[in-house]
Structure 1
Amino acid sequence: MYYLLFLYFAFSSLFVLVIYRLFFHPLHGYPGPTIAALTNWYEAYYNIVKGGSLIAKYEQLHKLHGPVIRVGPNTLHFNDRQAYHDIYTYGSTLVKDRGIYDAFGVHARESSFIFSDPEVAKQRRNLLQPLFSRRAVTSLEYTIQQKIDKLLDVLADNYNSSSTTVSMDVAYRALTTDIITSYCFAESANILDSPGFSDPILQGMKETLTKIWLQIHFPFFVTFALNAPQKLILWLLPEFEGYLKMKAGFERQINSLIKDPDTLAMVEHETIFHHLLEPKDQKPLSQASLMDEAFILVAAGSDTVGNACNIGTFYALKYPSIHQKLKKELDEVWPDKDRPMNYAALENLPYLTAFIKEVLRFSLGAMHPLPRVVGPSTPKIGGLKIPPGTVVGMSVKFLHTNPDVFPDPYTFNPDRWLVQDTSQPMLDLATFSKGPRICLAWCELYLIFGNILRRLDLKLHITEDTYV
């Protein structure tokens, strides 16, 4: 009897919920799939079952329904450049949606990346900003150049004939991980020293990225792994070895600095801990906050730039005309390739600059929409007044492939940036979002591409998996 009563109330509640979401919810008038209006598992289906094809599905839906679609019971996705800037560029009244950020930042719950309060996140970013200012970047440029030189030596020693091949994707991520760890902590991960760039840290970060959808939709699995005994973690998930190795390194360095802050004066150069251990006008950060901020900086600092370098190298080698223009420009200003060329000189090269901007347009960064929650005082988004509490977002892919700003958007064409006024396309170039380390990323790209294209003679090796 009680069992039947329970089933009756369960089905009645489900029926009422379905009717509400379809006909009475504040978003019921927005177009989109009926199943998406009913359940958030619509997104999970395309991310997990359909192999990460959510954005491709959104493209189809926007073609059918226009610039605004309902993609969840309480979620809207936009394909409108003004909406993008209303949400992310000027959207000071919107806060981060905790669900996806808690999943993304499951390894670093006390980092600024997942702070939902914009003011709190800004305070933490302000602590880090001095280390990533242009002044700081140029003063530490030598640390970037040292790692690039090491990569070139590794390539010259091990991949110096037409019969040898190297995955530049892996090589670049090894490079950028060594750069960001050396730059931020004055202690390099030294992944470039690992044969075949096979260090567990790099392998662990790669495995983490391949399982990102599981982290987003089933974060409790990762939470369990982080809290389980270390031996059990490595038995169940051997790819966590790299994460645990990195965590142990941060813990050792942070504990040493907390125990004796005077040791900061002995490190080779300024680090993030110079700014985080004794924050001005703020409470000292906990050990967990210090470790989480360090982890996020390494993860974000290695992946985005490494991916951009891989994509740029591919297109430079795929199109001989582009490669020749880059070589010609670099040869003219850099006659002795054995003597370093500094960042300030490289960023004055018009075609190299145009090439890097086009690379960033193609490399995208975080493709998944970064959701924000509309507040009571949020102004119109894309010309529409959105109900407070609604989750809104727009993938940067739609911004970077907008044909009104980037004609023939799926063609790799650096010449599109060689025009007198690039203010509008630059505003729409959002690969790095609004993070604190943009100056460092630009410096890395100029130095890496400058050195690779001037000092090496690479050839594209076509395989069945190569995108052509």
Structure 2
Amino acid sequence: MGLLVDVPLLGQLTAFFPAILLAASVFYFCALGLYRLTLHPLAKFPGPKVSAFTGWYEFYLDLLGAPRRTFAFRVQRMHEKYGPIVRINPHELHVSDPDFFDVLNAGGSARRDKYPPSASVQGTPDGIFGTVGHEAHRRRRGAVSGFFSKQSLLRDEHLVHDKANLLCNVFRSAMDEGRAINVRVPLLAFGTDFYCAHALGERGNMHLLEDETKAQVWRDSIVGLLHVTPVVRQFPWVLPYAFGLPSWFIRWISSDMALVVDVFTDILKQAEATVDESKRPKAVDKGRSNLMDTILASELPRGEKTADRIAQEGFTILTASGDTLGRVMTTAIYHLHCNPEYLARLREELKEMMPDPDADVPLTKIESLPWLTAVIKESLRIAGLITARTVLQAPSECLKFQDWVIPRNTPVGMTTSDLMLDPAAFPEPKRFDPGRWEPSHPLYAQSTRHFVAFSRGHRNCIGLNLAWAQMYIALAKILRRFELELFDVVRERDIDHHRDCFLGEPRDDTKGVRVKVLGLLE
């Protein structure tokens, strides 16, 4: 005997199903929002109710609102209204207090995991930057820390000089042709070419300094990649998925992204070849100056030495190295030429050390120059490049901020650009003042304590030794050799940040920081 079915009733239920589904969805959404506002562990923390209610607020400001990519600046206004700790989305807190930085970014025995949305922005979950877990990060970083040491750098110091001399050739060509150049492009090329030579060897060399058109295309591609980061924060699968798509399809979507994917593919092929070579007898030598060989020669388990993971490591550092340094040096050149008294003092210091402007002076001598060091530190500070918040979790302890107890494993973010431009830490933060880095300055100790350009703790910048060396040598050579003049540069348009693309980006109508090379210095 079969089941009796009331066909008319079933038809009515089917007809009402969309309405029932909609009503259930609205009820769930409202109930979830009510829970987040009242019973959630973060419900007690200050902040706008809309941020506590839904994460779509951040999505809207970064991806749909006009102008886009501005949620980071909305967070600044939240702090102005609600205080130094705010709840910026249903799951995450943000702190704006320089004294809390060392608590969140603790070293030693403290454990800090990286919040997955914060770790995903480069699309390399198996690279050091994209590693979420504390222990996995410690192992992976430890395997290559020697490669980024000062000792390793000094062995390859000649590469920095070689690339810096090629950089100077770009400036000389502009002088000979009487044209202005956007300095961000060759400076990015310099950082990229040095990294390729140092970490990837000749097979990975992009030769950007020898091809200005190629350098411009790579710069546009890096900017295109930066513009994708707000999307990746919301949809972490986007970049890893894109890296697996055919080049022709990516090129059809975005020519800028196509070059980035092609570079990742080239690095992956190099990693595959290196892994194959390592399987031959005596193929791996721990003394070789190559990032891929260093990983293969390390004590990491076999599963950590796959070509894909090695390629992710190489790609992460490649994309992180060039533009950041280029932007800092661009900032230095701009502000020095807006403050001729600072530039004159630096030139006197450089001339005393470098009577011959074309000499390759050892790094150990250049880094001993106090005013050059002060100029670089102030450029790092005022550039405030990283506008994206870095979000960490303390899996084994509750963190305390003032009178607030932050529950264990809560994602807590801080933004280094905000801290470096905090008037409480750096009075007149938007004024370029290298003098604040002189030991005789009354606020020198305070400035030093709050200088977090390379972060701190377990997750500080692994390439800081390389970064300092490149900035010292490149700026010394350029400013000792060439007389420059700014060409149609407007700070509000071409320098200041208006968009958060992980790095702060200027306005859409920027013309770049352009200079004319007037002549050679004696």
Q: TM-score range by the shorter chain?
A: over 0.9
In the alignment, does 2:446 pair up with 1:446? no
Which range is displaced more, 252-261 or 175-184?
Answer: 252-261
Structure whose residues are more often strand by fraction: 2
Equivalent residue, structure 1, for 2:514 = none
Please give the residue correspondences for 1:383-422 in structure 2 after superposition, counting only pairs within 5 Å.
384-420=404-440, 422=444
Per the TM alignment, residue 410 of structure 1 is displaced from its structure 2 partner at its CA by 1.4
Distance 2:90 2:494 in 1: 39
Per the TM alignment, residue 47 of structure 1 is displaced from its structure 2 partner at its CA by 2.3
Residue type matched to 1:62 in 2?
A: H
Equivalent residue, structure 1, for 2:299 = 280
Distance 1:308 1:217 in 2: 28
Residue type matched to 1:329 in 2?
A: E
Residue type matched to 2:96 in 1?
A: N
Per the TM alignment, residue 265 of structure 1 is displaced from its structure 2 partner at its CA by 6.1
Equivalent residue, structure 1, for 2:263 = 246
Equivalent residue, structure 1, for 2:198 = 183
Per the TM alignment, residue 278 of structure 1 is displaced from its structure 2 partner at its CA by 2.1
Equivalent residue, structure 2, for 1:457 = 483
Which range is displaced more, 30-39 or 44-53?
Answer: 44-53
- Structure 1 residues 351 and 159: CA distance shift in structure 2, 3 A: same
Asked if the contact 1:316/1:323 (under 8 Å) is kept, the reply is: yes
Per the TM alignment, residue 461 of structure 1 is displaced from its structure 2 partner at its CA by 0.7
Per the TM alignment, residue 171 of structure 1 is displaced from its structure 2 partner at its CA by 1.2
| Counterpart selection for 1:340 from 348, 360, 366 | 360
In the alignment, does 2:112 pair up with 1:94? yes
Equivalent residue, structure 2, for 1:195 = 212
Equivalent residue, structure 2, for 1:22 = 37
Equivalent residue, structure 2, for 1:432 = 454
Distance 1:132 1:228 in 2: 32
- Structure 1 residues 299 and 147: CA distance shift in structure 2, 3 A: same
In the alignment, does 2:336 pair up with 1:316? yes
Per the TM alignment, residue 264 of structure 1 is displaced from its structure 2 partner at its CA by 5.7
Which range is displaced more, 59-68 or 244-253?
Answer: 244-253
Equivalent residue, structure 2, for 1:294 = 314
SS at match of 2:452: coil
In the alignment, does 2:242 pair up with 1:225? yes
Residue type matched to 1:234 in 2?
A: R
SS at match of 1:10: helix
Asked if the contact 1:304/1:365 (under 8 Å) is kept, the reply is: yes
SS at match of 1:232: helix
Asked if the contact 1:22/1:38 (under 8 Å) is kept, the reply is: yes
Equivalent residue, structure 1, for 2:228 = 211
Equivalent residue, structure 1, for 2:499 = none
- Structure 1 residues 369 and 189: CA distance shift in structure 2, 3 A: same
> What stretches of structure 1 of length at least 5 have no aligned partner?
none
| Counterpart selection for 2:154 from 97, 113, 138 | 138
Distance 1:52 1:142 in 2: 40
Identity level (%): 23
Asked if the contact 2:191/2:321 (under 8 Å) is kept, the reply is: yes
Asked if the contact 1:257/1:263 (under 8 Å) is kept, the reply is: no
Per the TM alignment, residue 341 of structure 1 is displaced from its structure 2 partner at its CA by 1.4
> What stretches of structure 2 of length at least 5 have no aligned partner?
1-12, 497-522
Residue type matched to 1:95 in 2?
A: D
Distance 1:154 1:3 in 2: 64
SS at match of 1:371: strand
Residue type matched to 1:426 in 2?
A: T
Per the TM alignment, residue 383 of structure 1 is displaced from its structure 2 partner at its CA by 5.0
- Structure 1 residues 278 and 219: CA distance shift in structure 2, 3 A: same
- Structure 1 residues 218 and 413: CA distance shift in structure 2, 3 A: same
In the alignment, does 2:97 pair up with 1:80? yes
Residue type matched to 2:60 in 1?
A: Y
- Structure 1 residues 234 and 311: CA distance shift in structure 2, 3 A: same
- Structure 1 residues 382 and 435: CA distance shift in structure 2, 3 A: farther
SS at match of 1:32: coil
Asked if the contact 2:51/2:88 (under 8 Å) is kept, the reply is: yes
Distance 2:144 2:180 in 1: 39
Distance 2:290 2:241 in 1: 32
In the alignment, does 2:163 pair up with 1:147? yes
Equivalent residue, structure 2, for 1:12 = 27
Equivalent residue, structure 2, for 1:126 = 142
Distance 2:468 2:222 in 1: 22
Per the TM alignment, residue 444 of structure 1 is displaced from its structure 2 partner at its CA by 0.8
Per the TM alignment, residue 239 of structure 1 is displaced from its structure 2 partner at its CA by 1.6
- Structure 1 residues 5 and 122: CA distance shift in structure 2, 3 A: same
Superposed CA deviations along residues 72-117 of structure 1, whole A, max 9, x for unmatched, are: 1121111111222211134933311112322x131x2221111111
Per the TM alignment, residue 234 of structure 1 is displaced from its structure 2 partner at its CA by 1.5
Which range is displaced more, 313-322 or 84-93?
Answer: 84-93
Asked if the contact 1:184/1:271 (under 8 Å) is kept, the reply is: yes
Query: Which protein has the larger Cα radius of gyration, Structure 1 or Structure 2?
Result: 2
- Structure 1 residues 90 and 425: CA distance shift in structure 2, 3 A: farther
Per the TM alignment, residue 27 of structure 1 is displaced from its structure 2 partner at its CA by 1.7
SS at match of 1:457: strand
Residue type matched to 2:472 in 1?
A: Y
Distance 1:280 1:274 in 2: 12
Distance 2:163 2:197 in 1: 9
Per the TM alignment, residue 337 of structure 1 is displaced from its structure 2 partner at its CA by 1.0
Equivalent residue, structure 1, for 2:54 = 39
When normalised by structure 1's length, the TM-score is 0.93
Superposed CA deviations along residues 30-77 of structure 1, whole A, max 9, x for unmatched, are: 221111111112222332323322232222221211111111112111
Q: CA RMSD in A?
A: 2.3
Distance 1:285 1:226 in 2: 19
